[in-house]
Structure 1
Amino acid sequence: MPRLSFVLTVAMLSAFGLIASDVYLPAMPSMTIEFGVADWQMPQTVSIYLLALAIAQLSYGPLSDRYGRKPLLLAGIALYMVGSLGCAASSGYTGFLIWRILEAVGAAAGLVIGRALIADICDKRTSAKVYAVVYPLVSLSPALAPAIGGHLAAVFGWRADFLFVAAFGAAALLMVLTLLPETLPVAARTRTSPFAGFGHVVRDRNFRRYTLVVCAIYCAWFVYLTQSPFLFARQGLSEEQSGWLYLPLTAGIIGANLLAKRLLDRWPYDRIVAAGIACFVLGGIAFLGMAALERQGAVTVVLPMCLVSLANGSSLSLAVSGAIASEHGYAATASGLVGFCQIGSAALLAMGISATFGTGLNVLGGAVLTLGLLALSTCLPWSGRPAEQA
């Protein structure tokens, strides 16, 4: 296992993109009023952020395979901080969107290169164990960020959320400068066109299969994140109260991560992935059951998502590791491509669902169950899955 300082730095890099996407969720209803836009437009700021985050990842991977990890990483963090400060200073919806895009372009560096750093120094199974440590730390961000953001927005206003994000980026920058070595020596860097590795990666069957699992779970997560603030608001909950309701999901994510790490020495890799996907499907069924019974209260939204969070904690981390550490030989390119598919699909789906169907428990439940069944298809015999993946 790598040094603790390395693991913590990678966790920071992996988390700051998600913190920026989640921190202002409880404040979205009040931001809707301040910007003078419709309810469905504020979730689009999350989707547009995710779309920019996805597209930017396509460049960071190949470029860092050729020029090294740290130069690209430092430039990305600087953009992230500038974008966050711009969001805090925005006076209108359009300007806010522009700064969100810049913030996302910077955040992509942490996501792509953080995963590539792990692949540089670990094999597939060791990578999975590192992810099992990193992901519980990263998973705190979508739970803690809304709680922190809700409190900051209630006390200081929503702009304080983005000042917090900029400060988090500054802390990550300091850790990279002082704790992180360059993990890709000059001799190991690619000499061909920076984007030549894409063909090798997409032809890898395991990359495609694991990436489908990653996309399905992540889409479900962001559909929840863009739908739930409005479900909570309709039940009369304040920004601060709704922020705390993201915390129970952390227990499921962390618990599943820790269990997956222990099972890696006992179960085949793909059996653990399949077990998490089964919880994903059960969560979708639970959502639709709550909607059919017309139950009221925050518990009808939070409890089904706790089941889905088990897949987030187990199957997602293992599928990311499996996609990047396959036999294609282009770790950062694969990291950028899986990130593009992961974030891009989540952005488009979350945007499309809120714009087409609006917000509601039945909308959320239908989306989660459909995505769960899509992930489940990768476990079936015709998916190309090996009979027994060690």
Structure 2
Amino acid sequence: MPQLPFILTVAMLSAFGLIASDVYLPAMPSMATEFGVADWQMPQTISFYLLALAIAQLGYGPLSDRYGRKPVVLAGVALYIVGSVGCATSATYDGFLAWRMLEAVGAAAGLVVGRALIADTCDKRTSAKAYAVIYPLVSLSPALAPAIGGHLAAAFGWRSDFLFVAAFGVTALMMVMALLPETLPVAARTRTSPFAGFNHVLRDWTFLRYTLVVCTIYCAWFVYLTQSPFLFARQGLSEEQSGWLYLPLTAGIIGANLLTKRLLDRWPYDRIVAAGIACFVFGGLAFLAVVSLGLQGAAAVVLPMCLVSFANGSSLSLAVSGAVGSEHGYAATASGLVGFCQIGSAALVAMGVSAAFGTSFGVLSGAVLVLGLIALSTCLPRPERRTSEV
């Protein structure tokens, strides 16, 4: 296992993209009022952020395979800090969107290089154990960021949320400079075209299967993140109150991560992935039951999603590790591709769901169930190719 300072630095790099995504969730209704836009347009700021985050990852992977991990991630963190300050000073909705996209381009470096650093220093099973330490730390961000952001917005206005994000980026920058070694020797760097590895990675069936698991879980997560603030607001909850309602989900993710770390020495890798997917499907069925029974209240929204959070803490982390550490031999390129698919699919699905169907409990429930069933399809045995008889 890598040393603790290394693990903490990778956790910071993996977390700051999610913190920027989630910190202003409780403030979105008031931001919509200040910018003079409709409620459904504020979730689009998350979707555009995610799209930029996804596309940028395609570039960072090959670049870090060619030029090394540390210089690439330093440049990305600097962009992240500038974009966050720009968001805090935006006067218009369009200007805010532009700075959000720059912020996302910077955040992508941390996600791609963080995963590549683990692949550089660990084999597949050790990598999964490292993620079982990193993901509980990273998983705090979807819960703590809205809670912190809700209190900051109530006390100082929503702009303080992005000043907090910029400060977080400065901390990450200092940690990278002081604690992060270069893990890709010059001799191991690729000398071919920066994008030559895409073909190798995309032909790897194991990579594709694990990536589909990652995408479905992440899509469900971001559909929830973009729908739930408006569901809570309609129930009369304040920004501070709704911010705390993301904590039970983080508890589920952390609990599943800790259990996964123990099970890795006892269960086959893919059995743990399948168990997490089963929790995902049960969460979708629980949402369906709540809608059918007409139950109301914050618990009706949060409790079914807690089941989905178990999949986030187990299947998601293992699937990321399996996709990046497969036999294709292009760790950072695979990291960029899995990140592109993960974030890009979440952006498109979250944006499409809110734009096509609006924000309602029925929309949230249906989306989670459908995505859970798609994830379940990855557990089916792969059909064997038949050879023709001569």
CA distance in 2, matches of 1:89, 1:366: 37
> Who is 2:301 aligned against?
301
> Who is 1:128 aligned against?
128
Moved over 2 A (4+): none
| Unmatched tracts of structure 2, length 5 or more | 385-390
Question: Normalising by structure 1, what TM-score?
Answer: 0.98
Instruction: Report the AA paired with residue 182 of structure 1.
Output: E
Counterparts of 1:243-254 in structure 2 under 5 Å? Answer: 243-254=243-254
Range with greater deviation from structure 2 (292-301 or 120-129): 292-301
> Who is 2:200 aligned against?
200
Matched, 1:74 2:74: yes
CA distance in 1, matches of 2:381, 2:57: 32
CA contact (8 A) 1:147 1:240 kept: yes
Residue 292 of structure 1 deviates from its aligned partner by: 1.6
> Who is 1:92 aligned against?
92
Counterparts of 1:1-390 in structure 2 under 5 Å? Answer: 1-382=1-382
Secondary structure at the aligned position of 1:184 is classed as coil
Instruction: Give the length in aligned residue pairs.
Output: 384
Change (3 A) 1:109 1:95: same
Post-superposition Cα deviations, 1:298-341, rounded to whole Å, max 9, x if no partner, equal 00000000000000000000000000000000000000000000
Residue 276 of structure 1 deviates from its aligned partner by: 0.3
CA distance in 1, matches of 2:212, 2:315: 11
Change (3 A) 1:383 1:176: farther
Secondary structure at the aligned position of 2:382 is classed as helix
Secondary structure at the aligned position of 1:103 is classed as helix
Identity of aligned residues (%): 84
CA contact (8 A) 1:146 1:243 kept: yes
Residue 181 of structure 1 deviates from its aligned partner by: 0.2
CA distance in 1, matches of 2:143, 2:288: 23
Post-superposition Cα deviations, 1:245-303, rounded to whole Å, max 9, x if no partner, equal 00011110000000001000000000000000000000011111111212111000000
Secondary structure at the aligned position of 1:183 is classed as coil
Residue 22 of structure 1 deviates from its aligned partner by: 0.1
CA contact (8 A) 1:283 1:307 kept: yes
CA distance in 1, matches of 2:36, 2:287: 32
CA distance in 1, matches of 2:238, 2:160: 17
Instruction: Report the AA paired with residue 286 of structure 1.
Output: A
Post-superposition Cα deviations, 1:206-235, rounded to whole Å, max 9, x if no partner, equal 000000000000000000000000000000
CA distance in 1, matches of 2:25, 2:326: 35
Secondary structure at the aligned position of 1:267 is classed as coil
Change (3 A) 1:274 1:161: same
CA distance in 1, matches of 2:382, 2:287: 28
CA contact (8 A) 1:377 1:383 kept: no
CA distance in 2, matches of 1:236, 1:123: 49
CA distance in 1, matches of 2:311, 2:345: 18
CA distance in 1, matches of 2:370, 2:338: 21
CA distance in 2, matches of 1:296, 1:191: 59
Residue 381 of structure 1 deviates from its aligned partner by: 1.5
CA distance in 1, matches of 2:285, 2:49: 29
| Unmatched tracts of structure 1, length 5 or more | 385-390
CA distance in 1, matches of 2:285, 2:231: 18
Secondary structure at the aligned position of 1:190 is classed as coil
CA distance in 1, matches of 2:92, 2:286: 39
Instruction: Report the AA paired with residue 329 of structure 1.
Output: G
Instruction: Report the AA paired with residue 247 of structure 1.
Output: L
CA distance in 1, matches of 2:364, 2:383: 27
Instruction: Report the AA paired with residue 338 of structure 1.
Output: V
User: C-alpha root-mean-square deviation of aligned residues, in Å?
Assistant: 0.7
CA distance in 2, matches of 1:160, 1:208: 40
Range with greater deviation from structure 2 (332-341 or 284-293): 284-293
Residue 382 of structure 1 deviates from its aligned partner by: 3.2
Residue 156 of structure 1 deviates from its aligned partner by: 0.3
CA distance in 1, matches of 2:271, 2:103: 37
CA distance in 2, matches of 1:130, 1:121: 10
CA contact (8 A) 1:73 1:109 kept: yes
CA distance in 2, matches of 1:366, 1:381: 26
